[in-house]
Amino acid sequence: MITDDQKTTILNAINAASTRWKTAFNSGDAAGCAAQYEEDAVMHARPFGTFTGTTEIQAFWQKLIDDGFSQVEYIDPHIEVVDENSAILASGWKMNKAGGVIHKELWVLQADGTAKLREDDFEAKG
């Protein structure tokens, strides 16, 4: 059974990591976005494809940034703690040129106490 302290630790780590990702994206820093993923993370970006590992993930975010996408915001995010080391974030999202749904961001606590994305599954809808 997960304790309230463990739940708080996970939620704080995920909120901090998610903020780092959004700040990096909004400042045009694709490397900063990719740094929030585990080395062998898998990102399903519908309808664009599946990207595995931080090199492919960084290239995806760099192309979006180069194409003028910015100002990402999460709409009504919900985080569900899965166990003492991980939680899933789901949310709507919007940016200057698109919007959509985050079906699943699986955030996992790392040895240093930070959280990183192991799985990212989102959909762009226009």
The pTM of the whole model exceeds 0.85: yes
Give DSSP secondary structure letters for the chain: ---HHHHHHHHHHHHHHHHHHHHHHHTT-HHHHHTTEEEEEEEEEETTEEEEHHHHHHHHHHHHHHTT----EEEEEEEEEEETTEEEEEEEEE-SS-EEEEEEEEEEE-TTS-EEEEEEEEEE--
The letter for the amino acid at 98 is A
The letter for the amino acid at 62 is Q
Provide the domain count of the chain.
Answer: 1
For residue 20, give the CATH number of its domain.
3.10.450.50
Domain boundaries, position 71: 4-124
- For the segment 3-57, what is each residue's pLDDT rounded down to a tens digit? 999 999 999 999 999 999 999 999 999 999 999 999 999 999 999 999 999 999 9
- For the segment 81-94, what is each residue's pLDDT rounded down to a tens digit? 999 999 999 999 99
Q: Hey, what are 14's tokens? A: 């995920």
C-alpha distance from residue 87 to each of 2, 63, 66 (Å): 12, 28, 31
